[in-house]
Every structure is written in C-alpha cells, then in structure tokens.
Amino acid sequence: MQPGADIDGFTIGERVHRGGMATLWTVTHPGINVPLLMKVPLVSEGEDPAAIVSFEMEQMILPRLSGPHVPACFGTGDFERQAYVVMERIPGQTLYKRLGDLPLPYEEARGIAGRIASALASLHRQHVIHHDIKPSSIMFRERGEAVLIDFGLSHHNHLPDLLQEEFRLPYGTAPYMAPERLNGVRDDPRSDLFSLGVLLYFFTTGVRPFGETESLRGMRRRLWRDPYPPRKLRADYPPWLQEIVLRCLEIDPAARYPTAAQLAFDLAHPERVKLSARSQRLNRDALGTVWRRRFNRGAIQPQPKSNVAAQLASSPIVLVALDTVDGSEALNEAIRVTAEQVLSTSPSARLACVNVLKLNRVAIDRTLDEQGQNRHVDRLVRLQHWARPFGLDESRLTVHVLEAFDPAAAILEFAAVNLVDHIIVGARQNSMMRSLLGSVSAKVASEAPCSVTVVRPSRLAAQGEDGSTPDLATGEAEITPPGLF
C-alpha cells in the first residue's frame, strides 16, 4: 500500500489511521464524488489471526447495510490480491474525542444516547448486532444522526459467525462487554443495549461502571456483580436517568429493555419513564443476591434467542391513535379489540396511546373546555382510562396528547421520531368533512414508516340513537366537534 497506487480503480491517498487490526487510507475513484476511506487488514507476520477473521466479517456485513446510521460501502477486495473495504468517509471525529469533557451535562448525554439507540434500532432491524459499541465506534453526521462504524466483531443473523466458529474466547472491548458474551452468547441484540448503558453511565459520571480491567477473570465478575448506582457517585443524578442506565446494565438480558427502539423511546420522553426501585438505589445488590448469582449460574444464564428478528417481533412499539370525545365508543372498542390481538402475539410490546388536540389556524385556542377543565389533562386521563383494561406494566404503557394543526402529520411525526413499529388508527365515517378535507387514516396509512392497521366499527355499532354516524375525523376547528381528528 503506497500513495498513488491503483487498486481496482481506486487511487490510494494518505494513510490516516493505523489500529490494532487494520489501517485506513484515503482513496478516490473517478465515478464516485463522495469522500472515501479504504480499510485494509493487518496480515503481516505476527499479527493477530482474529484480525483476518474480523475483517472477513466486516466484508460480508457492511455491503448489506443501508441507511444513515452506517457508512455507505463502495467496494470490497478479496485476499487473493488485496483485501480491502471502501466506505464513505464520515466527516468529523468519533465520540472518543469527548472523553476529556466528561462528565457531560445530563441533557446532552441523554441526547447522544438517544441517537445511538436509534442507530442500534436500525441496525438490529437489518439482523445485525454490533458487539463493539464504545466511543471510538460512534460518529455523527452533520444532520445529527449517529453513525456506527467498525463491524469486525458483529453478528449477522443470516451469515456465518466466523468469530464464534473459530475462536473460543470472546472478542470485544472489555469495559463495554455484556456479561452473556462471556458465556458465548452472540445472537442477542440486548448485548448492544448493555454496552450503551455502560457508555451512558460513563458519560454522565466520568467513571466506567466496571472499571478498566482487561483480564478475563475480572470481566467474569460482571456475571454476578452489579455496579454502584450512579446516584452513589453524583447526588444530583436524575432518578429517571438512573432508571434507564441500571435497566440497561441488568445482568440478565431479560431484565433489560427488550429492544433499542424501546430504549430510544424512554430517552426521548424522560418525563414518561416509569420509576421503579432502581431509580432510588444508592447501593449495590446485597451479598446474598451476589452469592446466589455466582453459585447458581444455571438459573441465571441467559438463553440465546433463535434470531434477532424474533426478538424484535416480540417487542414492537405500537401506537394507538384514539378519539376521546363522547360518541366515539364504538370505534374505540373496535380499536381495543385490534390492539388486544396485536399485544397477544407480542409479549414485550410497548403501547403508546396518542390523542391529537387539533389547534385552530384562525381562532384563539382555549386551554379550558366549557366545563372549565383543562383539555390537555382531561385527554390524558381519558387515554389512561381506555388503556387500563389491558393491565400492562407501567413500563410498557405511555399516553400522549399532541397539539397540532394537522393531526395526520402529528401522528406521522410521532411515529417516525419514536421508531414506532405499528400504528392502529380509526377510520373516518361518512361525513361532509371527510369529502372536503380527506381522510387522516388514509394519509397515515399511505405515508407511515411502519405497518398500519385501519379500524372501522361495525355499521350498527357506529350508528347513534337517531341512526346518524358520528364524524370521528373533523377535529377541533370551530365548525367541528372536538376530537382526535
């Protein structure tokens, strides 16, 4: 590798980095107008054989990935001539450059972790577990999206796991490695959430939760020993943030967030985080608990999932868009039946009940209704009442009242920002407003970034006592009754 050399049409520039397993070179290509990097494995005498295997994994995985959260891949070369991967060069520095600023303000750290969680959600949907989440593996685009790099230790559910097949020891960065990795489990996406929990703990306290140990013996302690709660280190640590961090750092993967999308949801809505005993803890687990974990390993060993897709499918974020005005009972009951069917097949699903308080474009919006009640609070209470029969744990249910001029746009934006997997929305009934303004449910169904179920009540159930059909989509403009749409 020399500057000016040509490899498969790529012209080699300068070497910009030499790591433990590969070097990075700038390259150009006459048909590609974006900045490029060529990654070349270290294969000389005395190099770690794992460097070759991990490079093979990256060669297989990176070209199969897409989206803003990964660098685009522009070519690969095999080992017969010159092994390489050419990828998009992301401008800027990795998150590693922020270590000198630690601890970060809580809000800034929350925003960073939320963007990383969104990136992990996208990666997991593409059947990939990163397995090396750490500051030096994370960059950010100018638009703000987190970009994950370095896929040499990753697991792809549809590809051979060469690291698992050829090596018995776990490969990764010790301070960030999930405990189940020490038991040989590589196909559970919740391992990445543990690593993100370590990063969030570190960035908000300035201390790594498990220290700096690199020995396998030292790492095995995390199979039975939990870290000090952040509130032990910082008295002003927000309870909602400790709840999130300690849930990510649970030893048993089943006690963590089920998906990165659900973690991102909590990070985006800290005021909605359901606080448990975790949020107030000041001390580590009692010694009796620690000894039971250590000497009864068979009872706590995590069981690998059959595949990444199965884990995600059992834990979707479901958005239910509801009308809260009188006369909507038939449709809301039909929506309840549909939601029950979805939840029955998804044991770890999260339900977000949403109502849109439509704003007037001309008239002044009033906070109180005709009875003097706060409209926003009244709708929150109605949503909670509607969802109560599901009997969901508080950590699996949130209610939201959105204020917007365009209800469909508000629902679509909420779904996109919060990584919603499934929207359940009621359809408008026949009305003049529907013909004039169009259907909100149709717009949601046509533009949503996820699956959509449009629900209609039976014709008889939808009719009122006078035989009329309620208009469930006319909103709160002055000429229409108040409601969702």
* 242 and 340 together in one domain: no
Give 147's strand partners: 139
Single out the residue in 311, 346, 379 at which a domain terminates.
Answer: 311
Residue 126 covered by a domain: yes
The amino acid sitting at 256 is R
* 129 and 207 together in one domain: yes
In the DSSP assignment, the letter for residue 47 is -
* 77 and 120 together in one domain: no
Domain count, the chain: 3
- Collapsing DSSP to helix, strand or coil, 138 comes out as strand
CA-wise closest residue to 9 among 90, 84, 88, 91: 84
* 307 and 320 together in one domain: no
CA distance 259 to 385: 27
What letters, b where the CB count within 10 A reaches 16 and e where it falls short, cover 32-51? beeebbbbbbbeeeeeeebb
Largest CA distance in the chain: 88
What are the pLDDT tens digits along the chain (485 aa)? 889 999 999 999 999 998 877 899 999 999 899 999 999 998 766 567 778 888 999 999 999 999 999 999 999 998 888 899 999 999 999 999 999 999 999 999 999 999 999 999 999 999 999 999 999 999 999 999 999 999 999 999 999 888 888 776 788 889 999 999 988 899 999 999 999 999 999 999 999 999 876 777 888 888 999 999 999 999 999 999 999 999 999 999 999 999 999 999 999 999 999 999 999 999 998 888 888 888 875 444 555 555 788 888 889 999 999 887 766 788 889 999 999 999 988 888 999 999 998 876 554 555 665 666 777 888 889 999 999 999 888 889 999 999 888 899 999 999 999 999 999 998 866 554 454 445 788 889 999 999 999 998 766 454 544 444 443 333 332 222 334 44
Tokens 């919603």 belong to residue:
420
CA-wise closest residue to 411 among 475, 481, 457, 363: 475
CA-wise closest residue to 186 among 250, 253, 119, 126: 253
Token pair for 145: 């999206």
* 265 and 133 together in one domain: yes
* 343 and 234 together in one domain: no
Give 318's strand partners: 351, 422
- CATH code, domain with 172: 1.10.510.10
Contact criterion met (CB below 8 Å) for 231 and 282 = yes
- CATH code, domain with 335: 3.40.50.620
Residue 474 covered by a domain: no
* 154 and 69 together in one domain: no
CA-wise closest residue to 120 among 158, 148, 141: 148
Can you state the percent helix, strand and coil of the chain, rounding each to 5?
40, 15, 40
pTM of the complete model beyond 0.95 = no
Q: Which residue intervals of 269-355 are DSSP H helices?
A: 287-295, 297-300, 308-313, 329-344
Single out the residue in 62, 88, 114 at which a domain terminates.
Answer: 88
* 166 and 246 together in one domain: yes
CA distance 284 to 323: 45
Query: In which domain, by residue range, is 69 found?
Result: 6-88
Other beta carbons within 10 Å of 169:
10
Backbone phi and psi for residue 415, each to the nearest 5 degrees, phi listed first = -65, -40
CA distance 298 to 69: 37
Residue 277 covered by a domain: yes
What letters, b where the CB count within 10 A reaches 16 and e where it falls short, cover 291-330? eebeeeeeeeebeebeebbebbeebbbbbbbbbbbebbeb
* 446 and 385 together in one domain: yes
For the four alpha carbons of 23, 152, 149 and 28, in that order, the dihedral sign comes to positive
Based on DSSP, count helices (H) and strands (E) in the chain, helices before strands: 17, 15
* 161 and 303 together in one domain: yes
CA distance 265 to 110: 11
* 354 and 300 together in one domain: no
Single out the residue in 40, 67, 88 at which a domain terminates.
Answer: 88
CA distance 194 to 178: 6
Residue 34 covered by a domain: yes
Residue 400 covered by a domain: yes
* 276 and 130 together in one domain: yes
Contact criterion met (CB below 8 Å) for 128 and 61 = yes
